A and B are shown apart, each in its own frame.
Chain A
Amino acid sequence: GAVVSQHPSRVICKSGTSVKIECRSLDFQATTMFWYRQFPKQSLMLMATSNEGSKATYEQGVEKDKFLINHASLTLSTLTVTSAHPEDSSFYICSARGILGEENNEQFFGPGTRLTVL
């Protein structure tokens, strides 16, 4: 199957700093990328959907000014958590879907990034 990577895998930062997480599709072109957040022992919640070259669509309740998403190329999307606070500590997972997956919603998930804000 297709491979999606995330970097970094783990990050610890101080409150008030900004953190950037990268999501890359390694062997296919991702027309759409998704960002999920997962709190401990909870399910995955979709934060936003991004299409290459256009603005991301955020789910209700997700602050777009706090979680900046950029999908500048067909292989890279970034999520920047601005002015992070301890309540932003979570597991962030991205997924990517290529053109061939549009009909059956085949998404490939990255390994996740664990963010801890002190």
Chain B
Amino acid sequence: AQKVTQAQTEISVVEKEDVTLDCVYETRDTTYYLFWYKQPPSGELVFLIRRNSFDEQNEISGRYSWNFQKSTSSFNFTITASQVVDSAVYFCALSRGGSNYKLTFGKGTLLTVNP
């Protein structure tokens, strides 16, 4: 069975602070995909990143960065110099590779960035 744990239910920071959202996953598959999505108050899911299990390189995109560590089954997401517009719920998700493609979502982390 697959499982995604986002232990942080809510995080509150002040603008310009760095913040890391944790994601720990469980799977018995050797091939799998990890995702992060942002859900602002409007409700629409915004895709942020997809990483396959064979690519452990960290990725940086502007103020966003991701740290994938298979040794600890973690796929953490860091926002540098946070802004008020970053306030949203962030979901980490996992899917199997190949033809079995269901997405298993974590419970989400509500990030509030205060001015």
Contacts and interface: CB of A to CB of B under 8 A. Distances in A.
B103 A105 contact: yes
Interface residues of B, number: 21
Interface stretch (B20-28, B43-51, B56-64, B71-79): B43-51
Interface residues of A, number: 25
Contacts of B50: 104-106
A93 B45 contact: yes
Interface in B30-71: 33, 37, 42-45, 47, 50, 52
B75 to A, nearest CB: 15
Nearest to A49: B102
Interface stretch (A22-30, A66-74, A109-117): A109-117
Contact of A109 (B33, B45, B99, B102): B45
Interface string B79-115: 0000000000001000101010111011110100000
Interface stretch (A12-20, A40-48, A81-89): A40-48
A106 B103 CA distance: 10
A44 B33 contact: no
Contact of B43 (A41, A46, A111): A111
A102 interface: yes
Contacts of B101: 32, 97, 102, 105, 107
A58 interface: no
Nearest to A46: B102
B78 to A, nearest CB: 21
Which 8 A-B pairs give the minimum distances between C-beta atoms? A109-B45, A105-B101, A111-B44, A112-B43, A43-B105, A105-B95, A43-B107, A44-B105
